[in-house]
Amino acid sequence: MITRIVAELGPWAWWVLGIVLLILEVLMPGVFLVWIGVAAIVTGALTMLFWGAAWWASQVQWIVFAMLSIAAVLVGRRVVLSSARKTDEPFLNQRARSLVGRTATLDQPITEGRGRIRLDDTVWSVQGPDLPVGTRVRVVASSGRDLTVEPV
């Protein structure tokens, strides 16, 4: 049945496949099928261009489609990742990392390498050298919920 439909559609079969993949991308968003759909549409354009050529058999079309799909996915991935890196809030949802460089006063002494500071409205566990209460410290690193501090 599918072979008959493809034979009847001729070079338009690639366009139909591309549009179906783009519609599926809208229904199941994931930014993946769009690139394969673009590859199918480009393959359809090439098929329209080379339709009468003897060397443009269905096997060649599938190979071209596979290569274009791989290239489109790789290029699309690079485009999506490069646009995702640019932000005016790089530490959004990474609150502990956003505190690196800030200074605070110890609320509890650091004994045996552990203590507490208050930054804004939160009390944070800190690691660092043993220091008395009231010492000014600077946050130099974060790991999970713990901050690493050093005296200022």
Q: What is the pLDDT of residues 108-130, one digit of tens each?
A: 999 999 999 998 888 999 999 99
Inform me whether the pLDDT recorded for 132 exceeds 90: yes
Inform me whether the pLDDT recorded for 34 exceeds 80: yes
What is the reported pLDDT for 85?
65
Distance CA 82, CA 37 (A): 21
Compare 28 and 4 and report the one with higher pLDDT: 28
Helix axis angle, 33-49 to 58-85, nearest 10°: 140
- List the CATH code of the domain at 95-151: 2.40.50.140
**Strand, helix or coil at 126?**
strand
Q: Which residue has the tokens 């009468």?
A: 52
Inform me whether the pLDDT recorded for 65 exceeds 80: yes
Q: Mean pLDDT, to the nearest integer, of 71-96? A: 78
- Percentage of the chain surpassing pLDDT 90? 49
* Mean of all residue pLDDT scores within the chain: 87
Domain ranges in the chain? 2-85, 95-151
